[in-house]
Amino acid sequence: MAINENLLNPRRRSPLAVPLVVVALFALVGGAFLLGRASAPEAGREPATAAATAAPAAADADADDTDVDAAVAAIPPPSAHTAMGDPLPGTKGLRRLDVKVQGSLSATINGVIGAEVGDPLALVTSRLLVWWLDVARDLRPGDHLELIYELPENSEPVVHALRFRSGKQGRRFEAYRHQLPSSRFAHYYDEDGKEVEQRLESSPIDAYEQVTSLLKDGRRHKGVDFKAPVGTPVTMPWAGVVRRKNWNYRANGGSLEIEDTRGRRILFLHLSEIAKGIDAGTRVAKGQKVALSGNTGRSTAPHLHYQVMSSAGKVLDPFDLHETYRRAIPAGEKDGYLAAVRDLSAHFAGADLAADAP
């Protein structure tokens, strides 16, 4: 019978093994004790974050200073109340944000108010900044962003006023949300009363609230999105022939593809209705109503998706194809606008005083 030599002659343990194990155990216990002492707050002293996020704001719970990137945290806020986006005194839910840019726009805003509110607020803010600069490339550390905004229930944030100081361009940009008595929607205007957004000549849609997506906004979106109520008329920017309709309905919803006289393919998506008599092979004229905008298919809000492609399938930017312009506020409505701008600007200038008041 074979004999296991290891059983008959077990390895002899080193005489140092037991002492070394004991020393290691004492080191672990002592390290844990010292770590606990170092991390515990001193008696009678509150944690730094409690002192920084002053009292009354439940919204401050989303802005934990301990999670802010060191570079962002190093920027002193203009005041404890206003920088955290607290409601401004004497207003119906307006809030102020005042930050210096560090990193991306969303990282900068999230570093102050948290991602739950910061992400949608950054998206809404970028819709304005994109008309002046490349938001992904042109931001510089130290650029100054000021916002007056509100947070409606069950809706995205609404920016009422924006001021942005660009280091790259060496100037300040301003935008103020205002609804003219003659207008169906509120729009954004600069300090001189000219629209911030460009408009398209021979646009497929006229009665819209805002352009919410552009090819140049960095979202890899293939078209321009116009925020508009369901049922807004959609017209032809150029003459052409209908090639197909309502394909891939689950994603596109009601849809039309028209080939214009230059061979370009025009796509309208998320339509609520296509005009009678519009079928594959139908010839359509410039300016002819072909559909109504909607919220069908893979759409999260009522809008028109307008897309143009070359005959080779290359995505084209409608803002390069159309002539563009900016509307100016009519002279008869300018005084009302300037008064509204003064009211909003007072929140930029007066919010610090309100926050510092005893």
pLDDT at 8: 35
Vertex 35: Cα angle to 34 and 39 (nearest 5): 120
pLDDT at 56: 32
Give the N- to C-terminal CA distance of the chain in Å, as an integer. Answer: 95
Which of helix, strand or coil describes residue 120? helix
Q: How many angstroms separate the CA atoms of 153 and 210, rounded?
A: 20
- Per-residue confidence of the chain (358 residues) as pLDDT tens digits? 443 444 334 444 444 444 444 445 445 445 444 444 444 444 333 333 333 333 333 333 332 332 323 333 333 443 434 444 667 888 889 999 999 999 999 999 999 999 999 999 999 999 999 999 999 999 999 999 999 999 999 899 999 999 999 999 999 999 999 999 999 999 999 999 999 999 999 999 999 999 999 988 767 789 999 999 999 999 999 999 999 999 999 999 999 999 999 999 999 999 999 999 999 999 999 999 999 999 999 999 999 999 999 999 999 999 999 999 999 999 999 999 999 999 999 998 644 433 333 3
Q: How many CB atoms lie within 10 A of CB 66?
A: 9
* Residues across the chain: 358
pLDDT at 236: 99
Q: How many angstroms separate the CA atoms of 20 and 300, rounded?
A: 65
List the domain boundaries for the chain: 56-197+335-356, 199-325
**Beta-sheet strands, E only, within 36-108:** 95-100
Q: How many angstroms separate the CA atoms of 241 and 71, rounded?
A: 56
Q: Identify which of 141, 148, 143 has the alpha carbon closest to the alpha carbon of residue 125.
A: 148
Alpha helices (runs of H) in 44-160, residue ranges in sequence order = 48-52, 70-73, 80-83, 105-113, 115-129
Q: Identify which of 289, 116, 77 has the alpha carbon closest to the alpha carbon of residue 203.
A: 289
Burial, 186: exposed, middle or buried (Cβ in 10 Å; 0-12, 13-18, 19+)?
A: middle
pLDDT at 28: 46
| pTM (2 d.p.) | 0.73
Q: How many angstroms separate the CA atoms of 53 and 256, rounded?
A: 53
Q: Identify which of 188, 176, 146 has the alpha carbon closest to the alpha carbon of residue 163.
A: 146
User: What CATH architecture does domain 199-325 belong to?
Assistant: Distorted Sandwich (2.70)
Q: How many CB atoms lie within 10 A of CB 288?
A: 14
Q: How many angstroms separate the CA atoms of 196 and 177, rounded?
A: 10
- DSSP codes joined into one string, 156-171: --EEEEEEEEETTTTE
For the segment(s) 56-197+335-356, the CATH number from 3.40.190.10, 1.10.10.10, 1.10.600.10, 3.10.450.350 is 3.10.450.350
pLDDT at 86: 67
Residue bearing tokens 């009519």:
330
Provide the token pair at 28. Answer: 């672990």
